[in-house]
Structure 1
Amino acid sequence: MPGFLTLQGKRALITGGTQGAGAATVALFRDLGAQVLTTARRRPEDMDEAMFIAADLTTHQGCETVAEAVRSRLVGVDIIVHMLGGSTAPSGGFAALGEAEWQAELNLNLLPAVRLDRALVPGMALQGSGAVIHVTSIQRLLPLPEATMGYAAAKAALSVYSKALSKEVSPKGVRVVRVAPGWIETEASLRLAERLAQEAGTDVEGGKQMIMDALGGIPIGRPSKPAEIASLIAFLASDRAASITGTEYVIDGGTVPTA
């Protein structure tokens, strides 16, 4: 990969970079020569303190803290990767989602990207270059009403916002691209597979199959690996993708059944 692709000299902000695909993206960007600042609520013990900022991005103040760290530590930014996302909403369909649950989904999956872009993209436009990557989800196309309706709606909103932003800032040299993963095999998803397997009296592979069945099947027969998500993001952030903007790249092993 280093021989094919480089991010040498690029300054990057990657949110949600301490676990799963986020951590894989941080590691790959650094391997490819980028100077990376990442953020989460707590810093892992093995992460360089100088290139980490602790902040709660579900709040306006947390986003301001990160934007200021970008300005002071990186002195500007060339790449922003919005990896942050997830859901804490209860199962039970739309009736289980009250005002607090809906606001929490928006605060986690939509508003951090909006707030950080508002703070940092104008600087990219002034320098005449930059890449912004919004990590959405195939659930904007395949929502699971029992458990992730709010998450899917927030990611759909992020996707529409991303498209609109691309139309405004691409003429100013700032590319805006979306990456839509399906199921990623992270530590958290493996814990879910283990729990499902225990409940069903089967093994972990059986638990994985239950998740794939719930998604309608994954033609390649497995979830994506965090490193695979990171590789796509690195390419899209690089100068090799200089003419790519305003579009979405699905990386889901073929889960979405339409073109």
Structure 2
Amino acid sequence: MPAGIADLSEKRALVTGGTKGIGRATVLRLVRGGARVVTTARSDADELPDGVTFVKADVGTARGAAAVAAATLEQLGGIDIVVHNVGGSTSRGGGVLALDDDEWQHTLDVDLLSAVRLDRALLPAMLAQGSGAIVHVTSIQRRMPLHDATLAYAAAKAALATYSKGVSNEVGPRGIRVNTVAPGFTETTAATALIARLAEHTGIGMDAARQKLMDSLGGIPLGRPARPEEVAELIAFRTDRTIDGTIDATAGP
């Protein structure tokens, strides 16, 4: 095993949204550490590592979350690690008055309730064995919301962070670690789509929109977004350490 990679041999892990971006990088990182991994997404997976089980489902729905939980327990025979990475915003620009009830509900279902439902389904197995690690991937926007295009997403991620702390307080004494990782601006396909929406809405180019987004987050000292692999390292650290709290990647890598 390469130096610096935590030994996760025989650990059983679920990573939601594991076919792209931070989720895919996390799947690869856990596999390199020796874990057996189930991952899920709404669209078909391409070129996942050998041995990774893929479940096509929408965990933003109650039915999809239940199907993923059942398939995970069946395939792995239990669960040690859950990484709630799925999330994102598809809301239109235009500020708070542009968002209707359907857009708010969809965002809450994907960015908050997917984690709530999967935790509710998988925590009993962890509690029965007296061990486990849950990582909720939130966002810098939980405390630095972008009002123009992603306010609902920011609000849902803030709620996820509060929910995570509450669950941690409850199950931590029973051997279950619950932590959050709050990535800053990370160059993923979803981030690129957000930049494109901002560029279209404001009538500026992609490079200018990218810089505008970085500036709105307080700037990034290194002058570039984080990479998915860098965030995956933080997530893997959280699954392998007896610690509690929140790791921020708010200043970039």
In the alignment, the residues of structure 2 paired with residue 122 and residue 23 of structure 1 have an alpha-carbon distance, to the nearest angstrom, of 26
1:57 corresponds to which of 59, 70, 80 = 59
Cross-structure match for 1:6: 7
Cα distance in 1, alignment partners of residues 132 and 97 from structure 2? 42
Q: Provide Cα deviations, 1:167-197, integer angstroms capped at 9, x if missing partner.
A: 1101110000000011101134345557849
Question: What is the rounded CA distance, in whole Å, between the counterparts of 2:174 and 2:218 in structure 1?
Answer: 41
Which of 102, 105, 109 lines up with 1:103 in the alignment? Answer: 105
State the identity as a percent: 51
Amino acid at match of 2:248: V
Post-superposition shift, 1:148? 1.0
Other-structure match for 1:228: 230
The DSSP-based 3-state class of the residue aligned with 2:212 is helix
Amino acid at match of 1:248: T
Amino acid at match of 1:122: P
Corresponding residue to 2:249 among 248, 251, 257 = 251
TM-score when normalising by structure 2? 0.91
CA distance in 2, matches of 1:144, 1:227: 24
Shift of 1:152: 0.7
Residues 165 and 94 from structure 1, CA distance in 2 versus in 1: closer, same or farther, beyond 3 angstroms? same
**Which structure 1 residue ranges, 5 or more long, are not aligned?**
none
2: CA distance, partners of 1:200 / 1:60: 39
CA distance in 1, matches of 2:185, 2:113: 23
- The one-letter amino acid of 1:75's match is G
Contact 1:223 1:252 survives alignment (8 Å): no
Larger CA deviation: 1-10 vs 145-154: 1-10
C-alpha separation in 1, matches of 2:215 and 2:51: 41
Partner of 1:217: 219
SS in 1 for 2:117: helix
Q: Which whole-Å CA distance do the structure 1 matches of 2:193 and 2:85 have between them?
A: 20
Contact kept, 8 Å, 2:19 with 2:46, in 1: the verdict is: no
**2 CA distance for matches of 1:101 and 1:205?**
28
1:187 corresponds in structure 2 to 189
Q: Which structure 2 residue ranges, 5 or more long, are not aligned?
A: none
In structure 2, relative to structure 1, the CA distance for the partners of 1:248 and 1:50 (3 Å cut) is closer
Q: Secondary structure at the match of 2:185?
A: coil
CA contact (8 A) 1:43 1:54 kept: yes
User: 1:17 maps to what in 2?
Assistant: 18
The change in CA–CA distance for 1:192 and 1:95 in structure 2 (over 3 A counts) is: closer
CA contact (8 A) 1:185 1:226 kept: yes
Normalising by structure 1, what TM-score?
A: 0.89
Provide the aligned length of Structure 1 versus Structure 2.
249
State the one-letter code of the partner of 2:181. V
SS at 1:87 equivalent = coil
SS of 2:172's equivalent in the other structure is helix
Looking at structure 2, the residues matched to 164 and 125 of structure 1 have their Cα atoms a distance apart, in angstroms, of 16
Seen in structure 2, the aligned counterparts of structure 1 residues 101 and 51 have a Cα distance that, compared at 3 Å, is same
1:235: how far off?
A: 1.0
Cα distance between partner residues in 2 of 1:98 and 1:25: 33
Say if 2:186 and 2:252, in contact at 8 Å, map to a contact too: no
Which residue does the alignment assign to 1:37?
38
Of 214-223 and 99-108, deviating more is 214-223
What's the Cα RMSD here? Answer: 2.2
Structure 1 residues 110 and 210: alpha-carbon distance in aligned structure 2, compared to 1, 3 A threshold: same
Distance 1:97 1:3 in 2: 48
For the structure 1 residues 50 and 140, does the alpha-carbon distance in structure 2 shift closer, same or farther, using more than 3 Å as the test? Answer: closer
